[in-house]
Structure 1
């Protein structure tokens, strides 16, 4: 049985490999509040300022879809597959993501405070200025991703890993971590929350890189004179 870190490095599935691929029906119409979208294929659509709050997406796939703005508060995404999706802005407060696979996608300026993510895999994604404050991430992997100005303030991270990913100006202040594996990250650009790394695993090289900040937090003066 492969180790968890090896599982996180495996290649994502293709659309045709999804167990529900043969049952997908092309989406027609508009997104609606409280809508139920079961085994639906969203392909190439552009949703501008849509309101799908409290909607449910179950065993559905999204390819080359663009979301601009919009309201998706408390929306549920269960067993979904997203590839080449752009999400510019948008309010996904307290949304729920379960068994989701997100590939080569680019959420930017997206608000996900209080979101719950369980068994979610990001592959080769670019997350820019994403708000994950007070979110709960359980068994989530960021594989070969770029996380720039991502805010995990007050979030709970359990079983989260970052193999091959680059972190730039990421905030972890007041976050709670358990079984968080940072060893595979290409770089650890953390702007706030070094003290929240309690519960995380880092490499010896990363420890040397972070040593000055750890010393500052502990009030240790390093004098090489």
Structure 2
């Protein structure tokens, strides 16, 4: 594990952020999502996709605003060069999905399944996500900016050039995670429930080190009395 020290900033590779430039969009006129559907240059606004199945669907150059995705099936979906703003949902299934060059803003999600997914050049800004399942996922150039993550599960995932900026992490599970150039120094709150021994490859601040002292002691079997 690397702690904050002179020259540390120069050694931590910064995440490359997406630069989403949407073309003129066509408002969505369909009745619902379809498995393996192909959506290109579409604007989805204030739609209710509760319980709908869009397994394997592709969203390219799309804007999704204010839509509900409760129990929606979007496993293996591909979301590319798109923005997701004010989306909400419980139990949304995005297992094995690919998100590339995507901005997610003010999402309100619970129990979203992203295990086995691939996230590359993604910014998740604002909002709150409860019980985010990212087990065995691959995250590269991802920024969590000012959002709240409650009980996120990163078990077995690989995080490379991932930043947590002004982000609140509560009871995070890092069991078996692999971290490469992960910057936690600017996290507003850093709570780790499991896997503190996997912080190698991350950089934290001196204050965070003190906050995690109890967890480190427990990991090596030290009793603090």
* TM-score of the pair, normalised by structure 2: 0.89
What's the secondary structure of 2:36's corresponding residue? coil
Deviation (angstroms), 1:220: 3.4
Distance in structure 2 (CA, Å) of the matches to 1:199 and 1:87: 33
* Structure 2 residue 207 is the aligned partner of structure 1 residue 209: no
Deviation (angstroms), 1:5: 6.0
Distance in structure 2 (CA, Å) of the matches to 1:88 and 1:221: 40
Deviation (angstroms), 1:26: 0.4
Distance in structure 2 (CA, Å) of the matches to 1:5 and 1:64: 31
Show the counterpart of 2:118.
116
What's the secondary structure of 2:212's corresponding residue? helix
Provide Cα deviations, 1:21-77, integer angstroms capped at 9, x if missing partner.
Answer: 4x2000111210111000000000001111111110000001111111021111100
* Aligned 8 A contact 2:33 2:52 in 1: yes
* Aligned 8 A contact 1:126 1:146 in 2: yes
Mark the CA change 1:51 to 1:6 in structure 2 (over 3 Å): closer, same or farther: closer
Which stretch has the larger CA shift, 187-196 or 210-219? 210-219
Show the counterpart of 2:139.
137
* Structure 2 residue 171 is the aligned partner of structure 1 residue 169: yes
* Aligned 8 A contact 2:15 2:162 in 1: no
Distance in structure 2 (CA, Å) of the matches to 1:41 and 1:51: 18
Distance in structure 2 (CA, Å) of the matches to 1:116 and 1:49: 23
Provide Cα deviations, 1:69-122, integer angstroms capped at 9, x if missing partner.
Answer: 021111100011011110221211100000000001112111111010000001
Distance in structure 1 (CA, Å) of the matches to 2:223 and 2:216: 11
* Structure 2 residue 79 is the aligned partner of structure 1 residue 77: yes
Distance in structure 2 (CA, Å) of the matches to 1:46 and 1:142: 26
* TM-score of the pair, normalised by structure 1: 0.89
Greater length-normalized contact order (CA 8 Å, ≥ 6 residues apart): 2
**Structure 1 or 2: larger strand share?**
2
Provide Cα deviations, 1:139-170, integer angstroms capped at 9, x if missing partner.
Answer: 10000110001111111111111110111111
What RMSD over aligned residues (CA atoms) do the two structures have, in Å?
A: 1.9
**Structure 1 or 2: larger helix share?**
1
Show the counterpart of 1:24.
25
Aligned length: 213
Pick the aligned partner of 1:59 from 58, 61, 68: 61
Show the counterpart of 1:150.
152
Structure 2, unaligned runs of 5 or more: 1-11
Distance in structure 2 (CA, Å) of the matches to 1:40 and 1:6: 28
* Aligned 8 A contact 1:84 1:103 in 2: yes
Mark the CA change 1:48 to 1:222 in structure 2 (over 3 Å): closer, same or farther: closer
Pick the aligned partner of 2:90 from 75, 88, 91: 88
